Structure 1
Amino acid sequence: MENSKPLIEIKNLKKYFPAKKSFFGKTISNVKAVDDVSFVVNKGETLGLVGESGCGKTTTGRTIIKLYEPTSGNIIYNGVDISKLSPSKMMPYRRKMQMIFQDPYASLDSRMTVGDIIGEPIDIHNLMKGKERQDRIQYLLNKVGLNKDHVNRYPHEFSGGQRQRIGIARALAVEPEFIVCDEPISALDVSIQAQVVNMLEDLQEDMGLTYLFIAHDLSMVKHISTKIGVMYLGKIVELAESNELYKNPLHPYTKALLSAIPIPDPDMAAKNTRIVLEGETPSPIDPAPGCRFKDRCKYATERCSEKEPKLKDLGGGHCTACHLYDK
C-alpha cells in the first residue's frame, strides 16, 4: 500500500450542531461532534476508526460522504474538494461514496422488496434498466451470499445477518470506490460477525474498494484495518498502522482501550493489567480549553489544561496528540 495514491484526504474537518440558541435565534453554544479532524485514506486501504460511544466516529463518516454538511474543513476526493459542492454537483460523487449502516433493519424500507431496495440506487443514477438491471441485482445478491429466491421478499423475512448482506448489496449497486462501514457488525450475533467481515474483505479485494471502518470491537478492527485512528470527544488522539498501534500504543487513552480487549487465554489474561479510567467523559458542548482527556488522565499536568496538544507524527506515520511526547 506504500505506493497507493490518496483517495480521501480530510483536512481540519469540523461538524458542530447547535445546542442552544438565544431568543433571537443566534447560536450561543455548540455540540462539537467533530472538531478539527485530519487524515488520509489511500486507495484500497481500510482506515479503522475506534473510540467510545459519542466520540464522533459516525458523525465523521456521515460528514465525509456529506449526509451532514461540514461546518468547516476540506473533504478532498481523488484530488477534488467536494466539501462545498452543491447537491447537483455532488451527484457523481454520491455514486462513488456509499455507506453501510449500523442497524440493518432500520436502514431498509420495510415496504420495499429486496429487489426494489437494491435497484433503487441504480434507478436514481440512471445506470441501467430492464433485464440488465435485473441481472445486476441478481449478481449483487450472489456476491453477498443470497440467491434469486430472495428478490421478491421483504426485510422482515430475513435474519439480522441476511439483512446486513442486503444493505451491503445496496451499497455496492452503483459500483462505488469508497464505503463508510458504520459499525456494520455491532447489531449482529457474534457467530455472524466474522462471516460479514470476511465477506467485506473479499469484496474489497475483488472490487478494489476503500473502506472507513467504524467499530467498537478493537480486535475486529485490527483484523480488517490497514491503519487505525483513535477518537476521543471529537478529536483524533492517535493514528498509526494497525500492527504498530497495537504493539506500541502511545496515547494514555489508546492504552486504556487496548487493555480492555478480552484475552481468551486465562494465563495471559491474568498477566494483563487493565487500565481503568476515572471519571466521566466531558460534555462535547463547548469543551474547556486544553486537552479533552485531561480530566481522566493520570499524567495530566497544568500544561494540559492550558494548551491543546496537536496531532504530531513521531516517526513512521505514528501520530499522537499528547503533551507527554512534546519535545
Structure 2
Amino acid sequence: MTEPAQSLGSVTVAAATLLPLRAIIEEAGLQPGAVLAAAQLPPTLLDRGSGEAASLAGYFRLSEQIALAIGDETIHVSVRPLMLGTSDFIRDRLRGAQTARGMLDILAASYNVIHGGAYNRVATARDELVFAMDDADFPYALPKDDPFILFSLEALLVYVHVLLQSSSTGGKLLPLKAVRTRRAAGGESPLAAWGVPVIHGAKHFALHYDGAAADRPVDPAACPVLGSRTIYGGIARTLDRIGAPLAEGDIVARTAQALRDGLHDQRDIARHLGLSVASLRRRLGERGRNFRDVRAETLQREAELRLARGDSVAAIAEDLGFSDGRSFARAFRGWTGRPPHRSRSDAARP
C-alpha cells in the first residue's frame, strides 16, 4: 500500500498536545505570540484550553522558529542539546548514498552519532525495509509517554519519510506499508490521517516499506529538504506543497513564509507557490498588497527577532539575502528609522 500524495497535508495536531512548547518558549525569555507569528500560526494556539489545532507543516515551522531562537534542534526535548547545523552534517554524510536502503543506513548511523546512542536501526525482513527508532533509553527532558513526546517521535517518522521521498528519483511514491508507534492502542495518532495503517502499542517507532523500496535510486544532493537552516524548515515547505491548494485568502501569509524560508527573489517565490510572477502580483494586489511591501515587512520582523536574540548583523544579512552587512543596515534603517545596533540595545532593556 502506498500513501496518497496529498494525505500528509491533512494531518493536524491538537494544540493541547503542543502545550509543552509554550513553557520552552517562555523559559527562553521569548514571547509566545511573537514566535507563533513568525511561524504563521494563530497567536492563541498555545493558550491553555484554546481548542485549536496546527497543521503538520505548522508544527514543523513552529519547531524551526524555536530551534533558531534557542540554538537547540531538539527544542529542549532532549536533556542533551543538539547544535544548529545538523542539516549540513546530515547532507554531507548522505552525499554518497545511491539507494533508499543506503540513505536510511546513513541516516540511522548519523543520528546515532549525533545523539550518542544506538537509537536508530535499519533492517530487511519478511520482504520489508524497516527504519526503526527505539527510544527506550533516550534522555528525554519530559516523561517518555507524554503526548508531546509521542507526537514528536511520530513527526520524526514523517521527517525521515519526506526526506527519503524527496531524494527518490523517478517521481514514484515509496511503497510505505505501515507505521509503528509506542502510542497506546485507543489513543489515536495524528498520523491516522496519513492514509497508512498505524500500529499502536509497539515497542518502538518505525516505518515499514515494501522490500522493493530498498533498491530505489536516490539523489540526496538534489533533495530540497536539506537546504534549510534546521531539520524542520525543509519539511514544512514540502508539506505546504503537498497540502491543500493555495487559497486566495492566504497568499500574503504564504508569500511571507516563503521569504522566511530563505526564498528572496520574486520569481523563485512565485515558482514555489505554483504561480507565474504576474499571477503572484495579481493575487497580492487583490489583497491590497504588493510584493515589495510584504518583503519589507517580513524581513523587518525577522531581522528584529534575530537581533533580539543576539545574532550578528553579518549572519542576519546573509540569511535574509543581502549582499553584506552594510546593505542590510541601510535597509533596516529605512524600515525602522534606526540602525540595527540600536534595535538590539532596545530589545535588551528590561
TM-score, with structure 2 as normaliser:
0.34
Which structure has the highest strand share of the two?
Answer: 1
Which structure has the highest helix share of the two?
Answer: 2
TM-score, with structure 1 as normaliser:
0.36
